[in-house]
């Protein structure tokens, strides 16, 4: 008699050429990831060769009941670390039957910005630092914290090791390897300042690929925490008080910034970002005002400032960039629950296309 585990791990290639494609999209809150699977006749590596599909948008808060059909357009393919074999994960965006992007489809506008000749010529690179908090399922309190109580103050947890410092490392490592298997350009992980909080980094990745990869990585993390019986939180300030919040620091460079003399281009780009500070803050994640207080390695939400190696700034420039006269900078303002399609394209639009 086969066990459930045996059946889940069946190798389909032993008996059929058919594969399973898990179609993934962003739901009605703009933060929830939804997915459903379909059978395909054989392996596919090009998203344009995949069929469009549909779903009931009235059940995801994305369409009215009397006209509920929403169409999924496949955009990016990753290997499926759960089913393995030739099975795939498919990042999609969502449209009306008439072909118009629905309001929560932020990818469509981002794709237009990244395809603009001036932006494409600059070969924008992004490194996205996704912080997140693991919560105990039934009490929604951070993993490793005493129920209704608090651990010792911050200090020993950042990049820490030990049963009293690192909570959830098995989940973090499983996610790291699953992302590498999937083909996501995940570049690292670390424990964060608040216990029960972790970070993974995606990139450097070019253009819209960075956002596709981050959404795929978020989906994989949701699936792994589902198996582990732990809740994933992207709240930018999950615990009030003297505890660090959770951000999604966005590292950015253009071809001009990476070339000789790039530091001057970087400073001009930062000046533009300062002039559009309010617009960026409004798009950088819900509840960010609880995080950007001027404390806990943040700049105040109403203040724009930049500095070299300053983690209390809105924009941080690294020592190596200053020394080499070229490189990249880090926008420290985005919250952990930001939409990477919005943030990455907005930074490109402001720094490359916008003329003050």
Query: Domain of 26?
Result: 4-104
Contacts of 166 (CB under 8 A, 6+ apart): 157, 160, 191
Q: Residue 122 — φ and ψ, nearest 5°?
A: -90, -5
Q: What mean pLDDT is predicted for residues 269-274?
A: 97
Please indicate, yes or no, if residue 264 is contained in any of the structural domains. Answer: yes
Quick one: 97 and 147 in the same domain? no
CATH number at residue 323: 3.30.590.10
Quick one: 314 and 178 in the same domain? yes
Quick one: 98 and 154 in the same domain? no
| pLDDT 10s digits, 162-178 | 999 999 999 999 999 99
Please indicate, yes or no, if residue 153 is contained in any of the structural domains. Answer: yes
What is the spatial distance between Cα 333 and Cα 126, in angstroms, rounded to a whole number?
A: 15
Are 289 and 299 contacting, i.e. CB atoms less than 8 angstroms apart? no
- pLDDT band of residue 73 (cuts 50, 70, 90) is very high
- pLDDT band of residue 13 (cuts 50, 70, 90) is confident
Quick one: 121 and 99 in the same domain? no
Question: Is the predicted pLDDT of residue 234 greater than 90, yes or no?
Answer: yes
What is the per-residue pLDDT for 42?
A: 96
Please indicate, yes or no, if residue 150 is contained in any of the structural domains. Answer: yes
- pLDDT band of residue 271 (cuts 50, 70, 90) is very high
Of 72, 104, 136, which marks where a domain is finished? 104
Q: What mean pLDDT is predicted for residues 216-244?
A: 96
Quick one: 69 and 147 in the same domain? no
DSSP 351: I
Say whether pTM exceeds 0.85: yes
Q: What mean pLDDT is predicted for residues 297-314?
A: 90
What is the per-residue pLDDT for 347?
A: 98
Nearest to 214 by CA among 170, 246, 179: 179
What is the residue-averaged pLDDT of the chain? 96
**How many other CB atoms sit within 10 Å of the CB of residue 159?**
12
H or E stretch covering 135: strand 125-136
Quick one: 67 and 128 in the same domain? no
What is the spatial distance between Cα 285 and Cα 333, in angstroms, rounded to a whole number?
A: 9
**How many other CB atoms sit within 10 Å of the CB of residue 206?**
14
CATH number at residue 97: 3.10.20.70
What is the spatial distance between Cα 178 and Cα 199, in angstroms, rounded to a whole number?
A: 15
Quick one: 220 and 336 in the same domain? yes
The string over 6-37, giving b where at least 16 C-beta atoms fall within 10 Å of a residue's C-beta and e elsewhere, is eeeeeebeeeeeebbbbbbbbbbebbebbbee
What is the spatial distance between Cα 129 and Cα 191, in angstroms, rounded to a whole number?
A: 12
What is the per-residue pLDDT for 87?
A: 97
- pLDDT band of residue 297 (cuts 50, 70, 90) is confident
Please indicate, yes or no, if residue 110 is contained in any of the structural domains. Answer: no
**How many other CB atoms sit within 10 Å of the CB of residue 116?**
15
- pLDDT band of residue 266 (cuts 50, 70, 90) is very high
Of 104, 134, 156, which marks where a domain is finished? 104
DSSP 283: H
Of 53, 81, 104, which marks where a domain is finished? 104
Question: Is the predicted pLDDT of residue 268 greater than 90, yes or no?
Answer: yes
Are 27 and 59 contacting, i.e. CB atoms less than 8 angstroms apart? no
Quick one: 33 and 156 in the same domain? no
What is the spatial distance between Cα 130 and Cα 220, in angstroms, rounded to a whole number?
A: 13
What is the spatial distance between Cα 124 and Cα 118, in angstroms, rounded to a whole number?
A: 11
Question: Is the predicted pLDDT of residue 278 greater than 90, yes or no?
Answer: yes
Lowest mean pLDDT among 125-134, 160-169, 302-311: 302-311
What is the per-residue pLDDT for 1?
A: 76
Question: Is the predicted pLDDT of residue 5 greater than 90, yes or no?
Answer: no
Q: What mean pLDDT is predicted for residues 250-279?
A: 97
Q: What mean pLDDT is predicted for residues 39-50?
A: 97
Quick one: 246 and 151 in the same domain? yes
| pLDDT 10s digits, 341-353 | 999 999 999 999 9
What is the per-residue pLDDT for 156?
A: 94
Specify the number of domains making up the chain. 2
- pLDDT band of residue 217 (cuts 50, 70, 90) is very high
User: 53-56 and 88-95: which strand pairing?
Assistant: unpaired
What is the spatial distance between Cα 316 and Cα 266, in angstroms, rounded to a whole number?
A: 11
Question: Is the predicted pLDDT of residue 65 greater than 90, yes or no?
Answer: no
Q: Tokens 């030739």 belong to which residue?
A: 86
């Amino acid at each position: 008699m086969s066990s459930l585990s045996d059946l889940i791990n069946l190798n389909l290639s032993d008996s059929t050429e058919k594969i399973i494609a898990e179609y993934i999209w962003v739901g009605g809150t703009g933060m929830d990831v939804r997915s459903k699977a379909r059978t395909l006749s054989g392996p596919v590596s090009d998203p344009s060769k995949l069929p469009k599909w549909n779903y009931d948008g009235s059940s995801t808060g994305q369409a009215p009941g009397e006209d509920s059909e929403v169409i999924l357009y496949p955009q990016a393919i990753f290997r499926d670390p759960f089913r393995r074999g030739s099975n795939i994960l498919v990042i999609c965006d969502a449209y009306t039957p008439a072909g118009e992007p629905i309001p929560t489809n932020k990818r469509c506008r981002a794709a237009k910005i990244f395809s603009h000749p001036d932006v494409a010529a600059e070969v924008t690179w992004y490194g996205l630092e996704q912080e997140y908090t693991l919560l105990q399922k039934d009490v929604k309190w951070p993993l490793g914290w005493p129920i209704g109580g608090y651990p010792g103050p911050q200090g020993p947890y950042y990049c820490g090791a030990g049963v009293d410092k690192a909570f959830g490392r098995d989940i973090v490592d499983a996610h790291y390897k699953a992302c590498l298997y999937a083909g996501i350009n995940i570049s690292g992980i670390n424990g964060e300042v608040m216990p029960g909080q972790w970070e993974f980094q995606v990139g450097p990745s070019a253009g819209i690929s960075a956002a596709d990869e981050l959404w795929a990585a978020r989906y994989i993390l949701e699936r792994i925490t589902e198996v582990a019986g732990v809740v994933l939180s992207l709240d930018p300030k999950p615990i009030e008080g003297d505890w660090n919040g959770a951000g999604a620091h966005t590292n950015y460079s253009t071809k001009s910034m990476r070339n000789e003399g790039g530091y001057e281009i970087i400073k001009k780009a930062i000046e533009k970002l300062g002039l559009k500070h309010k617009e960026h803050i409004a798009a950088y994640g819900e509840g960010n005002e609880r995080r950007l207080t001027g404390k806990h390695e943040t700049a105040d939400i109403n203040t724009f400032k930049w500095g070299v190696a300053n983690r209390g700034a809105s924009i941080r420039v690294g020592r190596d960039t200053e020394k080499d006269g070229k490189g990249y900078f880090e926008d420290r303002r985005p919250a952990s629950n930001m939409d990477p399609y919005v943030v990455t394209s907005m930074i490109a639009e402001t720094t490359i296309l916008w003329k003050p």
